[in-house]
Structure 1
Amino acid sequence: MNYTIRKPEASELQTIAQFQIDMAWETENLKLDTETVNKGVKHVFDHPQIGNYWVAEADNEVIACLLTVYEWSDWRNGNVLWIHSLYVKESYRKKGVFKSMYTYLKEMVEKSDEFRGIRLYVEKTNLNAQQVYEAIGMTKEHYELYEWLK
């Protein structure tokens, strides 16, 4: 199936926010505050220097989204795109939706003088996602992720 990959319209903000709420519940059994998520998604729309949302569309319906944010790499003298907030509607999983989105971004990076690569992180227990990432040619690297969150 062919998917259209594009930046979302402002009218699709609620769809993206709901995808984030659904993802948090599904992957971490975490109930997010709807108002906070709506404001967070809108903030990205209002401040594209932070990053960009991308959506996949099929049959005039948004079926997936992801957020790309920038990491400056002094080693590479350019930005690395980090994929965050990836969500694919359950009925479209295992149908190449993320592969289409990733291919779109990879081609954008390859043509760009600004971007140097693509990274993402994945929950250690999310083996299905890890298999997808490896199947499309991403590699598990030697870095571990540490964080402190308020």
Structure 2
Amino acid sequence: MLIRKARPEDASTIAGFQLAMALETEDLQLDKKTVNKGVDAVFEDPSKGNYYIAEIEGHVVASLLTTFEWSDWRNGTVLWIQSVYVLPDFRKIGIYTSMYQHIQQLVMDNDDLKGIRLYAEKTNDTAHLVYEKSGMSAEHYQLYEWLK
């Protein structure tokens, strides 16, 4: 398995993953055109974030997005992991764990990066277990949001 930073030519695969994830986890049918534009925007403007993918035998089987949160408490950036998707046939074989470890190593190797955060749908118990197994905890904060 190869974990690498995604390239613009991976955009359509990543967008497809996002459409599938929204349907699977939240029963949401997202607008394909909007998602395509949203994924493309990350490649056009790296200040929005970075996609990472997992490849097995040259096939993209998973992706995630990291975005940035400035922490004045830490005088550095916390990476947020978002938009995690692993193809169903490739789940439970450690792909997310490998991707998380890759991101964790990026944080360890860069003094300006201070940590990793993510959020998961409250009812996605499978994701909660995976994240906890990776060493993350949900004990410090509860996420609140307002979305238009």
TM-score (norm 2): 0.98
Percent same amino acid among aligned pairs?
55
Q: Decide whether the 8 Å contact of 2:6 with 2:50 is kept in 1.
A: no
Distance in 1, matches of 2:140 and 2:14, equals 31
CA RMSD between the two structures? 0.7
TM-score, normalised to structure 1's length? 0.97
1:44 aligns with 2:42: yes
Deviation of 1:144 (Å):
1.1
Other structure's SS at 1:49 match:
helix
Deviation at 1:141, TM superposition (A): 2.1
Query: Which AA in structure 1 matches 2:132?
Result: E
1:143: Cα distance to partner? 1.1
Residue in 1 that maps onto 2:79? 81
Separation in structure 2 between the aligned mates of residue 30 and residue 115 of structure 1, nearest angstrom: 33
Letter in 1 for 2:67: V
Q: Which consecutive segments of 4 or more residues in structure 1 shift more than 3 A?
A: none
Per the alignment, in what secondary structure is the counterpart of residue 124 of structure 1?
A: coil
Shift of residue 109 of structure 1? 0.3
Match for 2:127: what amino acid? A
Q: Secondary structure at the match of 1:95?
A: coil
List runs of 5+ in structure 1 lacking aligned partners.
Answer: none
2:49–2:66 Cα contact (<8 Å) kept = yes
Aligned length: 148
